[in-house]
Structure 1
Amino acid sequence: MTEPTITVLDQLDQLEEIVLEGSRIPFSGGRLVNEQDAIEVMDALRESLPSQLQQAVGLIRQREEFIGQARQKSDEIIAAGKREREQLINSAAIRQEAERQVGELRDQARQQCEQLMLQARQQVAQAEQEHQARTAQMEQQFALRRQQLEQETAERNRQLLEQHDRNRQQAMAELEQIRQEGVRVQRDSQAEAERVHNDALQFRQQTQQQCDALVSRSRQESAAIQEGANRYAEQVLGELEGRLKEMSQVVLGGRRELVRLQAPEAAAPAVEETTGRRRRVANTLKQLAG
């Protein structure tokens, strides 16, 4: 009987898990649920519900039967009780005994109540005394602790003030040392800057002087080279001019010799002399050409 109910509850739990596992939609109370899983669980739930309903109807009928039986039994028990009560009431001795017992029980209950009230009052008074004593003791301990804390606080404040003064003096001394070191560094930096500036000026002057000396020397060397080149050119031109003069004289002599050789009245004995002159002229031309 309980297995189908557990199945339906499990399916309902599965459906709830599918809904809770869905992603929330921002700024709303909705969720994105896997539609296929939800439909499968709901289909299984629909298939299980008819049998569950039938079982529920059967259980209701059984409950009504149990209720009817219970009512019948309760009526029977009530009737029996009424009969017994009537019998007891009709019995005077029993009633008197019951009244006596009730009186005794009432007296005992009253006495017990008075004793309990007395004990309770005594316990309350004792508890109040203990509470007052404990309160006084706690107040005394609190006062002592407060006094100790005030002393410790005062001592701690004094130590902190002393430590603060020492730290401040140390910081001032370190600050003064740092300031002096900064002044010294600034002075050294200025001196180093001036030295570097002077070195730069001196190096610039030396460089300028060296450049001027190089320019002057270069000009002198170029002038000397130009003068030597002019002298060499004049010398070469003079030599060429002398050679040209010699060549012109040789050419003139050769022309005169050719004119003389071409004259019709030249005699045969002079042929050998002419040939010798021609050879000398040719040698002279070769030497001049060389």
Structure 2
Amino acid sequence: MLQPSSISAHESNQNGKNPTPREYVKVIPPDRNQPLSTAGVDIQQELNRLEDIILSSMRIPLTGRTLVDEDKLLEQLDFIRLSLPAVFQESLDILAQKDEILLEAEEYGQQVVDVAQAKRAQILAESDIIRQAQREADQLRRQVQQDCEAMMQETIAEVERKRRACQQELEEMRQTAIAQAQEIEDGADKYADHVLGNMEQDIQEMLQIITNGRKQLRGDNPQRTANNSHNSKKSFPKSTTK
């Protein structure tokens, strides 16, 4: 990269002095047909390195001067000089790609927006489904509550009808039992009256037989009749007729 010029190191320049370092250096420009090997060089870092070369060199006391390694310094300067076109070209390439980068960024942003809108639509759809399910659940709950209330009212009415029917049936059974008891009582009275009537008739017939027998006995033998009558009075006390 650094090459000596055609002037010899022992030759003098036009002023008769030793040639300056720049007269020994000839910069060979880079071949534009070849790819730059210095692409992506950090110029700030290379300048800092150049500064380090100067600051790290030995100082001459009481003079404020510094002894610098000329080859190292020129090599670093040459490297920076050759790197600048590559950096400029990289900047130009970046500027040329600006529209493409902006387009890609815009497309990416649009994709992000589309994804966000799709997610929003999905969330809204899910929210609509949840609200619809909530409405259906509320409607079903109200319907079940109404059905339960209707069934409860119907059950209460049915129980009331059963209660009244049971009361009516019990009342009919009570009236029937009373009527049957009265009928049984009347039948018992009639039966007792009939039995007593038969007994009365039998007794009357027996009394008639007894009376006729006594008459016959009194008509055949008056003395015997009198004795029998006297004995009968002793044997049978006189009954009191009410």
Q: TM-score range by the shorter chain?
A: 0.3 to 0.5
The TM-score, its normalising length taken from structure 2, stands at 0.43
The TM-score, its normalising length taken from structure 1, stands at 0.36
- Answer 1 or 2: which has greater helix percent: 1
